[in-house]
Amino acid sequence: MAAWRRAIELSLGDVDLQRLKSIAQSRTDPARRVERARILLRYWKDPSFYAVSQALGLHHQTVQRCVERAAVEGPMAALDDRPHPGKEPAITMEAKAWLTALACRKAKDLGYPHELWTTRLLARHAREHGPAEGHACLGKLAQGTVCKILDQEEVKPHKVRYYLERRDPEFAEKMAEVLCVYRKVKLLKEDAVAKKKPSEAVAVISYDEKPGIQAIATTAPDLPPEPGIYATFARDHEYKRHGTVTLLAGIDLLTGKVHALVKDRHRSREFIDFLKLLDAAYPADTAIHLILDNHSAHISKETRSWLSDQPAGRFKFTFTPKHGSWLNLVEGFFSKLARSVLRHIRVSSKQELKERLMAAVDFFNQDPVVHTWTYKLDRAA
């Protein structure tokens, strides 16, 4: 007579219960994990091997093995297969290390026209040169095996992740100067709120250029959406280029007003035209303080000559450090413009693009946004 199967006590904590329920309802976990999670949940409610096996359509010994393992090793460990001994790996650790070191070099350094490795090229190179380097096990290396070895080492030689090297040795000092200007703006805003009147003694302008705005025309009319038929606008793939324009723009950080010009280029003469625009926009006794980058037009001989003819103290420049354009608040305005006005824009000529850009500036100036800088402002001297 067979021995009576005693129920095994299975205790599940709240955390284990939540995790088991999540896995039991998962559509992405492996089927064996989902099945075992359901076994443990069923058994926890009704501790009967037979009842659980009948409910899930399994053999009662399958249920018993899963529960016994969960009682000994824990419920989460019981969801995965035990490691199998298997056969000795054909590729040695030394061969894997050699392959990984090879992947960390550029393919072009080994005479290939490729800049970086592809896994197929890396496998081919290892098959051809691995045995000569003392790794005979690589003689029949497959591309899939290369992928597995590199995944284990978390090496992806076919990909590039970009970084930005800080090339300005005075980055911290220049950033501090910009932050001091933003702190000054904050104090001027607080003073204006207290007096209920903006100060006319100084204007702080965040300035930059947005070059290369393309004037692109359609070659066929856009087709509008139709309810229930076409959900979106339809546009022909072909287009016609009419050239590019440059937007020169500056935001008054005290009022939020945008000053702008649209030109074909952005040389010193265009920058001087923008300075003349600012000169005409503010009273003669207002000091105009600009935050801008180190573009050659901003420090050229032509620009310095024009500034020397202006009244003392009329214009003052604070330059952002090299690769520090993120310190300039006007970049936020350019991002807003690109995401709203310039997104999918089509025009019939460069002139139309210029008019629409200026119309966009007028639109934003109807409800100006006063930009505020807060990052690291407390560290400004």
What are the structural domain ranges in the chain?
14-79, 93-153, 171-222+236-379
98-142 pLDDT, tens digit per residue, is 999 999 999 999 999 999 999 999 999 999 999 999 999 999 999
Which residues are CB-contacts of 329 (< 8 A; sequence separation ≥ 6)? Answer: 206, 251, 253, 291, 371, 373
Quick one: average pLDDT of 306-324? 93
Q: How many Å is the Cα radius of gyration of the chain? A: 34
Q: Pick the more confident residue, 205 or 379.
A: 205
- Predicted pLDDT of residue 358: 97
pLDDT of residue 1 exceeding 70, the answer is: no
pLDDT of residue 325 exceeding 50, the answer is: yes
Quick one: average pLDDT of 158-163? 90
162-199 pLDDT, tens digit per residue, is 988 778 888 888 898 999 999 999 888 888 777 766 66
5-19 pLDDT, tens digit per residue, is 567 888 888 888 999
- Predicted pLDDT of residue 381: 53
- Predicted pLDDT of residue 4: 47
Which residues are CB-contacts of 10 (< 8 A; sequence separation ≥ 6)? Answer: 40, 43, 44, 47, 67, 70, 71, 75
Quick one: average pLDDT of 241-269? 95
192: helix, coil or strand?
helix
Cα 194–chain centre separation: 40
- Predicted pLDDT of residue 310: 94
- Predicted pLDDT of residue 3: 44
Quick one: average pLDDT of 339-346? 94
pLDDT of residue 90 exceeding 90, the answer is: no
Q: Pick the more confident residue, 351 or 165.
A: 351
Quick one: average pLDDT of 313-330? 92
Contact 100, 155 (CB under 8 A): yes
Q: Centre a 10 Å sphere on the Cβ of residue 43 and count the other Cβ atoms it contains.
A: 23
Per-chain mean pLDDT for the chain: 90
End-to-end Cα spacing for the chain: 90
Which residues are CB-contacts of 43 (< 8 A; sequence separation ≥ 6)? Answer: 10, 49, 52, 63, 67
Domain 171-222+236-379 is of which CATH architecture?
2-Layer Sandwich (3.30)
Contact 79, 23 (CB under 8 A): yes
pLDDT of residue 374 exceeding 70, the answer is: yes
